Amino acid sequence: ISQLFGELLSVWLVNEWRQLGKPPQIRLVEMGPGRGTLMADILRATRAWPSFRLALRHIELVEPSPSLRASQQRELKAKQNKSSAQDQKLMSTEEWHLPQEQIFNPNIRARWHETLASVPSDGVPCFVLAQEVLDAMPGHQFVMTETGDWREKLVDVDDDPLNEDRFRFVLAPTATPASHALIHSSTLKNMTSNMQQNQTEKVITAEVSPSALAVVDEVARRIAASGGGALFIDYGRHSCLGDTLRAFYRHEQLSPLCDPGLVDLTIDVDFQACGRQAAKVEGAAVFGGLEQGEFLGRMGIVERLQALLNNDSLTDDDIDRMITACETLCHADQMGSRYKVLAIVQGDHEQRQTPAGFIPEDRVRRPTSHFDIIAP
């Protein structure tokens, strides 16, 4: 949307690197790099901090799709070709189509991975960026019945010839392993009791994504062990309640049951649950999820925009485009409140300096029980 986004994330990375004492070697991991635009923007922006670039020895891109890997490689190569060899130390010494690894130069090594598990965990401080990753993780949906029981929502074959999708949603007739795990949450037990008394909604749905929780947990453990920091940026909420399952194909929203395997399925990220899951990890300090607009505002997006607009060579169209992009990122009616930001850094004690963009009140308290991760 805007170069401002990549620039401000670069500022965050450099700030956290300094908080670590400027270690001489760091690893930058991006999960779900898309077309490679964000990583390319960060590599461009961080040229303003030569000491940070000197420490940036490893770039790890977690991407299971071969076609997206190729797109990412093309994007990075295109940005590389726009810079001189002296300014942009990313001169490729291997063919870009290689699926696993590219050697840019002796200082920066970029590799592609199918999963986070294959990213080395060797004590090198690790910085992780994950934008619009958790929303694509599989999840479970549960519906509370009139008797207060939770039943998992499943997909069944629909024999109705008039139904083009040929599938339908049904409730499991009895408890499933997933619903058994859900009802053991003490907060959900209290929630069930309150909802039965208040009768506020006819249909009450809860969504849980164990896969998203597992990813956040793994990242928190890496950072607690080796140092570094992580930012998870996604659209989401601070609750597990609601039916947010949606399907998209070429920017058009469709039924989640149509064209299995072709449409992109997504659910809102439960940032409260993800934050609590990460906060369970000894040695990890967790902050957020903060609204994206507030995070970018604290990071200085308005001031940076004003500085860019002072360029006399900009046309009126350029100015309008830059202002519109900033509004899209920050305005409450657009991405500003819909998207949330969760930060994970190393540090268990309360005196640990708060990461850039956050305040002490944003810190997530460690849950007292494993069953208190999921909450309404």
CATH of domain 3-138+210-242+267-372: 3.40.50.12710
β-pairing verdict for 284-291 and 339-346: antiparallel
182 or 18: whose pLDDT is higher?
18
Per-residue confidence (pLDDT) for residue 71, from 0 to 100? 86
Among the ranges given (150-164, 199-213, 275-289), the one the predictor scored with the smallest mean pLDDT: 199-213
pLDDT reading at 249 higher than 50 = yes
Contacts of 255 (CB under 8 A, 6+ apart): 165, 247
| 50 phi/psi in degrees, rounded to 5 | -55, -35
- C-alpha radius of gyration, the chain, whole number: 22
* Local structure of 227: helix, strand or coil: coil
Q: Dig out the tokens for 102 from the structure.
A: 């590219």
Per-residue confidence (pLDDT) for residue 190, from 0 to 100? 56
Mean pLDDT over 215-223 rounds to: 97
Contacts of 149 (CB under 8 A, 6+ apart): 175
pLDDT reading at 96 higher than 50 = no
Contacts of 268 (CB under 8 A, 6+ apart): 135, 207, 235, 236, 237, 242, 244
Q: Dig out the tokens for 46 from the structure.
A: 């961080």
pLDDT reading at 84 higher than 60 = no
pLDDT reading at 374 higher than 70 = no
Q: List pLDDT tens digits, range 146-192.
A: 888 899 999 999 888 877 778 999 999 999 999 887 766 655 655 55
Segments making up each domain of the chain, as ranges: 3-138+210-242+267-372, 140-207
State how far the Cα of 355 lies from the Cα of 20, in Å rounded to an integer: 11
- Chain-centroid distance, C-alpha 285: 17
pLDDT reading at 138 higher than 90 = yes
Residue 58 vs residues 16, 25, 36, 53, 240: alpha-carbon distances, Å: 17, 8, 16, 10, 36
Q: In one letter, which amino acid is 173?
A: P
- Contact (Cβ atoms closer than 8 angstroms) between residue 329 and residue 2: yes
Mean pLDDT over 271-284 rounds to: 95
Angle (CA) 173-175-179 rounded to 5° is 125
Per-residue confidence (pLDDT) for residue 89, from 0 to 100? 42
Per-residue confidence (pLDDT) for residue 93, from 0 to 100? 32
- Contact (Cβ atoms closer than 8 angstroms) between residue 344 and residue 229: yes
Q: Indicate the average pLDDT of the chain.
A: 86
The model carries a pTM of 0.88
Q: List pLDDT tens digits, range 324-337.
A: 999 999 999 999 99
Torsion of CA 250, 251, 254, 257, to 10 degrees: 60
Residue 200 vs residues 197, 232, 283: alpha-carbon distances, Å: 9, 32, 40
Mean pLDDT over 9-22 rounds to: 96
State how far the Cα of 363 lies from the Cα of 170, in Å rounded to an integer: 39
pLDDT reading at 322 higher than 80 = yes
Per-residue confidence (pLDDT) for residue 73, from 0 to 100? 86
Mean pLDDT over 90-111 rounds to: 47
pLDDT band per the 50, 70, 90 thresholds, residue 109: confident
The reply to whether omega before 36 is within 30° of 0 (cis) is no
